[in-house]
Structure 1
């Protein structure tokens, strides 16, 4: 089963996605896409890792190349989040560059095949307008491409607004 959880910044999407995982049996995997650039990032990652461990998540760090993930057993995976992963794949010299959207979708397909349930968190795009400076438009278009394709494949698509889940596809669990 595939669930896409969308929302704006601080909408509650991550907390809602995590609540869905906590309703499932073990094993539980947290696919973390943040790149660690400095000590502040490292401290944030360690804090979140400890919080998730208490909830019986096994954290898998994957800032690039989802296709390289090989989960040890079938279970539920929470991927947090597509916005980070898209930026990493677009802009990191080791990333997929212009092929970021297609590489991410291939990786998501491969990851979903290893899971009983895959829950993916992503950001809304273009809800704030369409006039963006610099390379931001390229990033938003790539993320929109991934979001749209993933929504078409998903069993459930939910948008979280002010902590309230609104289902666009499938029914609330």
Structure 2
């Protein structure tokens, strides 16, 4: 089972995705973290998030690029957060896939799905904040849109979280 959870900044998407993981049963829980620790603020945020997830029995796996190289110790439930970071890392990092970002992420998702019971992916909805972008911002938005469409097509369930309210766009809508 693969679920895509999408939403704007501070929409409640991460909390909803974590709740889906906790409802998935008594399986090992993996959190694939994609945020690179560029500065002290990022490192503090990562440390805080690790502590919060540890209380929920998540094992954190860091993956900034090359998702297809992730190997999980055993099958379980995977929360990948956040696809928006992974797409940017793949697009702009010297170690990333560059122009092959969408295909690289698709290969990684395929491999990850083969290693888990359930995969829950969080991504950002960044497309309604404006209409006039140029240069690399427009390039990034196009890549993320392609990734989100690919994920939605492959997903068994797709949720959009708006103001803390999950709206099911695809699948049976398991929210309780």
TM-score higher than 0.5:
yes
Query: Deviation at 1:131?
Result: 1.2
- Aligned ranges 1:6-155 → 2 under 5 Å: 6-24=6-24, 25-155=26-156
State the alpha-carbon separation in 1 of the partners of residues 8 and 126 from structure 2.
8
Residue correspondences, number: 173
CA separation of 1:98 and 1:59: change in aligned 2, threshold 3 A: same
* CA deviation after TM superposition for structure 1 residue 164, in Å: 0.3
SS of 2:129's equivalent in the other structure is coil
Question: Retained in 2: the 8 A contact 1:125–1:144?
Answer: no
> Where does the alignment leave 5 or more consecutive residues of structure 2 unmatched?
none
Deviation at 1:127, TM superposition (A): 2.2
Distance 2:153 2:135 in 1: 29
Normalising by structure 2, report the TM-score.
Answer: 0.95
CA–CA separation in structure 1 for the residues paired with 2:167 and 2:37 = 32
**Where do 5+ consecutive residues of structure 1 fail to align?**
none
Runs of 4+ with deviation above 2 angstroms: 125-130
With 38-47 and 79-88 compared, the bigger mean Cα shift is at: 38-47
User: What TM-score does the superposition give when structure 1 sets the normalisation length?
Assistant: 0.97
